[in-house]
Structure formats: structure tokens, C-alpha cells
Structure 1
Amino acid sequence: MPDPRGKGQMSPKEEAPGTGGDRSRDADVRMVSSTSKGFCSVRHGLALILQFCNFTLCTQNMNLSIALPAMVNSSVLPCPANGSDARDTCNETLPGFWAADPVYDWSPDLQGVILSALNCGSFLASIPCGYVAGLFAAKQLIGASLCVSSVVNLLIPHAADAGAALLIVLRVVQGVAQIIVMTSQYEIWLKWAPPLERNQLIIFSISGSALGACSVVLAGGFLCETLGWPSVFYVSGGIGCACVCLWFPLVYDDPEYHPFISARERDYIVCSLALQDRVPYRSLPMKAMLKSLPLWSILVSHFSVWWYISVITAYLPTYLHSVLAVSLSDSGFLSALMLGAIFVCTILGGLLADVLFSRKVLSLLVIRRLFTAIGVLFSSLFSVSLSWVSDSFSISIAFLVLSLAASSFCQVGSLVNFMDIAPRYSGFLKGLSLVFTNLSGVIAPTVSGFFISQDTESGWRNIFLLSAAINLPGLVFFLVLSRADEQEWAKDQMLTRL
């Protein structure tokens, strides 16, 4: 079994034949990479499994929003209790196989608390879970947390029967488990993603969230109408359990110990990352982080970019129905279409970024700034223009799709920049950035709801103008202060105790 690398050095046995000790690492990488690149590799299989994990998390995150209207639908009349024949006749008139599923008398305020419980758990646990992600093996953390989230999802229909309080507690637990998965997955790429492929591997894996959102919007309502609302939780929970069954036997923290990886691919990854090995940390350079302007540029960009995304996520069906007069049945299809556009453009953005970087067309810093600028400027332009093209249905839909597609390019820009400036603390910084993301996700829908309540037409115009007004300063801040090289405080020798 190969010896672990504590200092990022290769043993003679692992050097490619004929290279010798006087050859540079760059020569080793070039020699091995010619036969190691391609999509039929273990590292791309790992990206596919992580995409499946993110797909699962997103379906489990959104399924309650899809099922809640059926869970509180008071229009379903109770069956008479004066005989089995009458009960059978009543059940035949109700839609769906699970026609007798319970309906709960939850007030709108209580529904809001239930829906926000998962986000509350995520918000409170973001920083602690990000810290923990750097201390323990990512494989065990992700597998265990995904298992917890999936089991909790299977228990939600039974928890609803027991009472709203238990349901809220389970959703908080589920939010904590999902945050551990979201922060820990970046730790895996520190040993699996060659620098020239990091963009495409990370972006491909996180694109599962958009694919999951698209799938649950399309299939959630159909499941509620045909099999009953509990089926939404059983299906997404079952998918999560299947993902866990794939995760533990197929995923390894280090490519050196993977039983199925080829020698060429292993050597390519190890040579590429020979100088980037990470020693687990026990404390954080908090003072240096607080003074780091490149880090602050990333955090501010997370808040500003997610403002518009949070508004669209929360109010897209409302906009389609109230402004564009789209029926509720068609709005689900159109919402899925737009989420599908985000999925496709996210993957294409990652591939394009790696092509530009590997061929030395653009530096990594220019790529981060350029993709962020494209995402912010074009999404702001198309969203603000919606107020002046609302009379044309086709143009409005086209502008919505283009604005969301453009915003996905930020995934290759500022939203992944923390991996460049401090790879050693990637899990913690992802958790820290999620605090700003969730903060934006709380404030933006609240402010937007206030605008809509005043006047629908002018309200949406103000919403889009405010989104642009928040996005553009955030972009300027990122363009001026962002960096793409590892910061001094993020290196091992700069570690300071709290």
C-alpha cells in the first residue's frame, strides 16, 4: 500500500518510468496527463456521484414546498362514517391512489415556520459544520449526513401526524445534515481535482442542485395528484438511501487508496497536486481572515449574487401567474424549463473555464472576474428589462431564461473563488459563505413581498431594480479586491492559534 504523503513528495516508486529524480514535476504531469484526461475516469465518476448527492439534497429541500398545498388543502371533504359502502363511494370520488391521506389545519404563520425550519438549521450550523468539515474524513461526514437527511425525509409524513412541533424539529435536523454535505464535498476535491480540471469537476458536481430543483418541480405535483403527498417524501428519501448505498463502496478520500483507479490516473492526480497536500487544521487564523479583502470580496459577492436568485426561487410561480397570466399547471413546466437552463449553463461554464485556463488563454483571476461580470451584468440587464416587455409573453419568458442562465456563470466566478485563495480552509469558508447566502435568502424574499403587496406592476419593477442596485456594487467590490492565488494566511506555516 502506498505511503501517505505528509509533505507532498513523491516516492521513487511512484515516479513515472524514465523520469528520474532530476525531472521536474511539470514534466511528470505532462507525461501522465496525455493518457489520463477524459470523462471515463474515476474522478469524473466521483463528480457524477457528488452530483447525485446534490440532486438528492435539493429534492429533499424542496419537497415540502411542493407537498404543503396538498397537506393543508381544506377543500377535501371528509367521508361519512355511517357504513363501509358510503366510505368506499366517497374514496372513489377523491383524486389519487392515496386519496385518504391526512389534511392538516395549519395556519399560514405555522406553515411559514415549518417551511423555514430547514433554512434555520442550515443558517445556524453553517460555520460550525464548515469547521468540522476540515477536521474529519469527508467520505464519512458526507455519507453519514446524507443518510440522516434521507431517513428524516422518510419520517416526515409520520412526523406530520404526530404534530407540527416534531416536524419542525426534524426539518432543523435535516438542515444541519445537508449543510455538512454541502461544506464537506469541497474537501474531497483538494485531493481529487487536478488544477486544470477543478472548475469542470466542481461545477459538474454542484450542478446537481439545479437538476434536482428541475426534477422536483416537474414530478412533485404529479406525485401529489396520483399517489398522494406522502409519496413525494418517500421517493426523495428512497433516492437518498440509494445514493448512500453507492457512496460508501465507491468513494474514497484519497485517490491513492481507491481500488478501482488506474495507475496512470492516480499518478496524474498525485503529480498535479504534489505541492498542494493539506494537513488537517485544529484552529483558524481568524484575525487574518477578518482582514483579508479578497475573502470579503467573495462574501459580499455571495450576498449580492444570491439576492436575485433568492427572489426568483421564491416568487417565480407568482410572477408567471400574476404578471404573465400563466396557468398554475403551465407555470410548473416553465419553472422547470428555466431551472434546466441553469443546469446546462452551469456545466458549460465549468467546461469553458477549464478550456480557457488549460490553454493559457486567460489567467485564473481573469476567469473568475470575467465570469462573475457576465453573470451579474447580463442577469441584471435582462431582469430590469422585464418591466418594459411584459406585454410580450414570448419575450418575457426569453428574458427570464437568459437572466437565470447568465446568473449561473457566477458559479464559475466568485462563488467558487474561495477554493483559490484558501484551499486548506475550503470547508470552513464554504460554511462562512453560506451564512451570507442564507442571509440574502431571508432578506430578499421579505423585501420583495413588501413591494408586491403595494402594487403588482410597480412592485416587480422595483424588485428587479433593487436586485440590480445590489448586484452591481457587489460586482465592483469583487472586481477590485478579488484574488486567485493562495493567500499567506491560508498556508500551513501561517497557522495561528485562536
Structure 2
Amino acid sequence: MRKQLAIYSTQTDWTHSDNDISVIMAFHQSHSINSSPEYDDEATPLLTKKVTDKSEIPPQCCSARCNLAVLMFFGFAVVYGLRVNLSVAMVAMVNNTSPQPSSNNSSVQECPVPAARLGNQSNGPEQPDGMPRYQWDSKTQGFLLGAFFFGYLVTQIPGGYLSGRLGGRIFLGGGVVGTAALTLLTPLAADLGVTWLFALRALEGFGEGVTFPAMMAMWARWAPPLERSRLMTFSGAGANFGAFVALPLTGFICHTLGWPAVFYCCGGAGCLWGLFWFILVSNEPSSHPRISVHERDYIINSIGSQGGAHGWSVPLIPIIFSVPLWAIILAQMCSNWAYYTLLTSLPTYMDTVLHFDLRQNGFLSALPYLGGWLFSVSSGIIADTLLERELLGVTAVRKIFTLTGLLLPAAFLTAVGFVGCSGVLAVTFLTLSTSLGGTSAAGVFINQIDIAPRYAGVLLGITNTFGTIPGVLAPIVMGYLTKDRTLAGWRSVFCLSAGISATGAVIFTLFGSGKIQSWAMGDEEFERETDRGHLDRQTDVHT
């Protein structure tokens, strides 16, 4: 109990009067009865500052913090549209994408091609005449789909560090707009050759790499603790929404206007979003020109000193040896392997195995992300409700949603590998897998801000750097496993992804935490630690 009381006192701005000591004693007495040691251990400083009078909380509707969440939502929708457009367009860009099993594979292993598609198999999907097509084999396609993540790896940590120090507005907005501008050059790069297209996609990843760390750094300054899960999961859910919209829209555009138009439309949308972002968004509540005084004070007071910028130096050694951080890293790597496998490879599976046409391909590839979007938003609301009502501690909430979001999807992903040629079952299991995976948005994917709010941007940069490695490797591994385009090869892809995802669930359940780490406290908080010791002694005397 002493630990919970001590942490509680560090996050207040009280002067050390007798009245203050009475308040602490009341807090001690109210929590000393029927409180388990486990819940005391779960206490997180930022979450102990409860608002008992609901009228003190400014309305969320049309508030500055919710407007920020909406803009982030559409920003990440654009980001994922820019990321997945090549996955569907690749089907139209590549000549002769029909299944070509090697001689040592039995024909009964392959799914029959619908009669309506037999006439188009030699030239690829139907689209306007005159569209260029390329002779890229399965391995080349895998490398091109993974090229984005080579650049994405590089800017995660620098983006998180600079966003935490200088603010995330310029980095998030600049990352989206820069990636959108480069996307406009995709048709030109494809004409110039594979090397040029690979380099362009890597540059796009380089620009986009700063976006998620910048988001985390901004929410560290904007998200009240008891609204954190819903605000962050809603804004991050734009990624699933973007994939849901972009996949069928890309197929439709390819069919009607040709694949080059896909990149012009996506790039233009990103540039348009940037105008609204830079006009309407500020780095923090104190500098926002249109925020109400009520909302500004509520956000600043509820977050406290952890909502400020960190210094130029960071506690690098404690970060490196932080067990809860490594639990996040490994769990995200495992989860991302399955996610990126589907994100980059699902349209190819729909085309080469299940033989859906281009428009069906885009729509059915998008269905799993509709479920993921809905489940991720719902998980944030449920997580905040559990914390607000004090039904569970932060660590328990993060572990439950992570376990649900990694283990259950793994089971359905395994089932996909054994459905054979049944398109209905394949789409059903893929949709269930990705939908349930959305619940991890309220788990491991926002856990950085729990353990170190001030350094949340840096930590997200670190975890995303490691989490991007599967984005590089998964498409390449998929290319090798499916080079013969057989059901057995795709079964290996799905089972491998499921096994890795389940491993991540176990790791985070064993080693994850929702408690703020001692190395994440600044000088001001360490000074309060000294004062807190004095208050603890006074409390003992009065007790």
C-alpha cells in the first residue's frame, strides 16, 4: 500500500500542509480495506488522478482533442492507402499472374480457374488497353512489396526522438505529405525498372516511418489518462479503415482507369489531407488557438508533468535493459508478421489461389480490415471503461487485449491454411482473424505510453523499428514459400504466421507491464520523490 500512496503523491501539485496530509491519510484508509497487493502493484501514477465530478470533464464532441483524433484517423487512412495500393495494383501491373504449378505438384492441389477468367489468364486482369505490364516473377514481387519497409525502418527512432523533443505536428504531417508526393512518381519509376521502383518504395517508407512515433508523442501531450485508450485506438484505427477503403477502391480504379491512376489518386488524397492538418493542428493544448480554457486546463492538469517534452538526452541504458519494453518489442514483431503478411500478400492469394477477379479481389481483401477497424475502436472504449470503473488495473487490461488480439487470430489464420479451394471459408476465417486482431490496439500497441509517457514517441520509434522487420521479411518469405503457387505453399505461409503470433501473445502475457517505469521520471518527479518520503513518515505518525 505504501507504494501506491507514494506514487499517488508524486503526481500532485500539493504543498505540504496539514490539510494535504489529511487528504493522503484519507486516500490511504480508503484503499487499505479490501485491496489486494496485485491491484496496488497495478497503480499507474497518471491514472490515480480521478475526476469525481463529471461536470469537470469538458465534452468530447467537437473538442480539440477529438478533432485531433479525427484528423489523425484520416491521416492514417491515407497512410495505409499509400502503403497497400501496390499490393492490389501489382496484380494488374504484372503479366501472366496465373497459377503455374511446377511439374512435381499434383494438379489436384490447385484450385480450378473459373471459366469467366480463362480467357484473361495469359494477359492478367482486365483493365483499359495500353496499360504497361511487367514480367516480374514471384520473388521480384515479394522484394518490391517489402521495399517500403527498408526505408520505414530507418526513420522510426529519429522520428520518435525528435517528435518527443520538438512536437509531432510537423513530423506526422510532413511524413504523410512527403510519402504522398513520392507516390505520384510510381508509374514513372515502374517504367524505369525494378531498381527504380524499389528505391522509390523505400523512400516512401523513409517518409512514412516518422508518422506513428509522432502520433504517440502528440498523444502523450494531448490524451487525458482515462481517455487514452479510446483516443489512441480511434486515431490508429484509421490504418485498418484506410486498408478497407483502399483495397476495393484500388481494384475498381485499376479496372476502370488503369493501374497508374491508383497512385495519382492516392498521392493526391495525401496532399489534400496535409492542408487540413497544418491549418488545424497544434503540437500541444497550450499552443492551440481554438481550444477552450476548460478543455486546455483539463488536459494539462490530468496529464501533469509527464505531458511535457523530454530533454535532448534520454535514459538510453535503462531503456535498453527494460524488460517491459522488450515484451512490447517482441509481441509487436510477432503480431506484425501476420499483419504484414496479409497486408502485402492477401491480394496475391485471392488472385493466384482463389481466382477472384480484380474487383472481387479488392473487395474481399478489404473485408478483414473492416472488422479490424471496428474491433480496434471498440477495444479502446472497453479498455477505458474498465480502467475508469477500476475493474482492472492497467497491466491486466493491456495483457487481456493483447492475448485476445494475438492468440485467437492465430487460430483462425491456421484454419485458412486448411480450407483448400473454398473461397467462402477462406474469406470468413481471414475476416475473423484480422477482426479479432484489432483488439490488440488497446493492448500492446499503446503500452509504450503506459510505461513511459514522456518518452512514448522514442519508445514507439524503437518498437516500430523492430516491428517493421517482419514487414521486410514476411513478403520475401511469402515469395519463396509460394513460388510454385500451390495450396501447400500458402498453408505454410498461414501456419508460420499463426505460430509467430501465438508466441508473441505468450511473451507479453509473461513479461508485459502497465506501470510507469522509474527511469521515465524527470528531475521534477525525482525531487517529489524526496518530499514524498517526508510525507510518508508524517502519515505513519498520524496513522
Report TM bin, short chain: 0.7 to 0.9
Contact 2:142–2:475 under 8 Å retained in 1: no
Deviation at 1:183, TM superposition (A): 1.4
User: Could you tell me which of 298, 323, 338 is aligned with 1:308?
Assistant: 338
1:173 to 2:203 alignment = yes
When the two chains are superposed, the root-mean-square deviation of aligned CA atoms in Å is 3.3
Deviation at 1:39, TM superposition (A): 3.2
Contact 1:279–1:492 under 8 Å retained in 2: no
Deviations 1:11-59 (A, max 9, x none): 9xxxxxxxx9x99998894447545133332111100101111111111
1:488 to 2:518 alignment = yes
Where 1:244 maps in the other structure, the secondary structure is helix
Aligned partner letter, 1:348: S
Aligned to 1:36: 58
Aligned to 1:91: none
Deviates more, 1:305-314 or 1:382-391: 382-391
Deviation at 1:271, TM superposition (A): 1.9
Aligned to 1:53: 75
Deviates more, 1:286-295 or 1:63-72: 63-72
Aligned to 1:3: none
Contact 2:333–2:470 under 8 Å retained in 1: yes
Deviation at 1:206, TM superposition (A): 1.0
User: Could you tell me which of 355, 375, 378 is aligned with 2:408?
Assistant: 378
Deviation at 1:128, TM superposition (A): 2.9
Count of residues paired in the alignment: 461
Aligned to 1:256: 286
User: Could you tell me which of 126, 137, 155 is aligned with 2:185?
Assistant: 155
Gaps of 5+ in 2: 1-9, 15-19, 25-45, 98-125, 526-543
Aligned partner letter, 1:184: A
Contact 2:187–2:260 under 8 Å retained in 1: yes
Cα distance in 1 between the residues matched to 2:309 and 2:212: 21
Deviation at 1:72, TM superposition (A): 4.8
Cα distance in 2 between the residues matched to 1:417 and 1:324: 38
Aligned to 1:200: 230
1:476 to 2:498 alignment = no
Cα distance in 2 between the residues matched to 1:465 and 1:72: 27
Aligned to 1:87: none
Deviation at 1:287, TM superposition (A): 1.8
Deviation at 1:165, TM superposition (A): 4.7
Distance 1:332 1:164, change over 3 A: closer
Map 1:444-483; keep pairs closer than 5 Å: 444-453=474-483, 456-483=486-513
Contact 1:126–1:434 under 8 Å retained in 2: yes
Aligned to 1:429: 459
Deviation at 1:131, TM superposition (A): 2.6
Aligned partner letter, 2:502: L
Contact 1:53–1:208 under 8 Å retained in 2: yes
Cα distance in 2 between the residues matched to 1:438 and 1:51: 21
Aligned partner letter, 1:431: G
Deviation at 1:107, TM superposition (A): 6.8
Contact 1:131–1:428 under 8 Å retained in 2: yes
Cα distance in 2 between the residues matched to 1:152 and 1:406: 33
Map 1:17-416; keep pairs closer than 5 Å: 29-31=51-53, 34-73=56-95, 96=128, 99-103=129-133, 112-161=142-191, 165-321=195-351, 324=354, 326-387=356-417, 389-390=419-420, 393-416=423-446
Distance 1:391 1:67, change over 3 A: closer
Distance 1:103 1:397, change over 3 A: closer
Cα distance in 2 between the residues matched to 1:371 and 1:138: 27
Deviation at 1:152, TM superposition (A): 1.6
Aligned partner letter, 1:272: S
Cα distance in 2 between the residues matched to 1:400 and 1:155: 33
Cα distance in 1 between the residues matched to 2:231 and 2:481: 40
Gaps of 5+ in 1: 1-6, 12-19, 76-93
Aligned partner letter, 1:40: C
Where 1:274 maps in the other structure, the secondary structure is helix
Deviations 1:315-368 (A, max 9, x none): 323444565564554232211111111111111111111111111121111110
Deviations 1:270-295 (A, max 9, x none): 22112423232212322212221111
Contact 2:160–2:217 under 8 Å retained in 1: no
Contact 1:210–1:343 under 8 Å retained in 2: yes
Aligned partner letter, 2:294: R
Aligned partner letter, 2:365: S
Distance 1:415 1:28, change over 3 A: closer
Distance 1:66 1:376, change over 3 A: closer
Deviation at 1:162, TM superposition (A): 5.3
Cα distance in 1 between the residues matched to 2:320 and 2:234: 31
Cα distance in 2 between the residues matched to 1:136 and 1:336: 36
Deviations 1:371-410 (A, max 9, x none): 1111122112222234555476544433222111111111
Aligned to 1:84: none
Q: Normalized against structure 2, the TM-score is what?
A: 0.76
Aligned partner letter, 2:328: I
Deviation at 1:169, TM superposition (A): 3.6
Contact 1:213–1:339 under 8 Å retained in 2: yes
Distance 1:258 1:31, change over 3 A: farther
Deviation at 1:73, TM superposition (A): 4.4
